[in-house]
Amino acid sequence: MSSVAPAGKQPLPWFKIFKYCVYAFLVANLFFFFMEDWAASKHLFSGGVSFSQLIEAYAATIDTAAWVVLLLVFELETSVISDEKLKGNLKWVLNTIKALCYVVIIYACYGYMTKYIVIHSFEPSSLTNLCSQAAQSLSFMTDLDEYESVVAANCADLSSASAFYQLPGTGIVTDTESLQSAEWLSLIDVVNSANWLLIVLILTMDVWLQLTGRLTGHIIKVTAAFKGVLYFILLLCAVFWGIDGDFLDFWDAFLWILAFALIELNIFEWHAEAEGKPTVLGESDKVEH
């Protein structure tokens, strides 16, 4: 990247600053997802969250944490660490970290599937008026992972419906509109998680092919076409979250698509440098001269 800078001074690496700001926002989102999961778990697991229920109660937090670590490993592999150093013990350590992240991500996907099953387990309730049961320690599900304790002061505002659904064995109730919204969102979570698993599988293959000298321009075009379809589905998920009004999910989805677009650009630059071709940004530290 060229810049007219005073003699003796290096131009600011604006692309890297932008890239690492995106990564920093994703790290910050961890806190917000934890707060959402923690608030929801107080209603879903009133008796406390056991170790076996952690992935179900904190699926979004655990999933995001694993993805952040995996993203940073991809950044190291595709942009920061030179090919000459990306071998031996260092390569083994990075592969081990990635393997652990994959286990957590797959487990988190299972958590989303479990939550999908839970949301679809609501049964019709005999309740016909929410305010008539305001003293019964009920929780009203306003949306996926969003609950309000039902008290006399808010019961009328929560729902004016005359038909409700209840999660068996719990005091969680909801109305038809809120249940349908939660069911759709739980499905979007599963689709989103499964799509990301496919994308990271293809990315891992790209990195392995590049390290072994087998990544060609034709393969890049083929994998890019597959990933293009998957990214489009992820974009639709983000749009759905935006329409539904869940800004955190929309913002997080947008950042992740942007972050992995940057990783894709890293791979393109890495491949171009290895082939001795001119690069677009010229800011990668991959190749040592």
59-75 helix and 88-119 helix, angle to the nearest 10 degrees? 150
Residue type, 49: V
Alpha-carbon distance of 266 to 62, in angstroms, equals 26
Terminal-to-terminal C-alpha distance of the chain:
17
User: Tens digits of per-residue pLDDT, 47-95?
Assistant: 777 766 776 778 778 888 999 999 999 999 988 888 888 888 998 999 9
User: Tens digits of per-residue pLDDT, 26-49?
Assistant: 999 888 888 888 887 877 776 777
> pTM for this one?
0.77
Alpha-carbon distance of 279 to 270, in angstroms, equals 9
> Pairing state of beta strands 164-166 and 123-124?
antiparallel
Helix, strand, or coil (residue 108) = helix
The pLDDT of residue 101 is: 93
Alpha-carbon distance of 152 to 156, in angstroms, equals 8
Among 6-20, 137-151, 189-203, 269-283, name the most confident range. Answer: 189-203
Fill in the DSSP letter of residue 133.
G
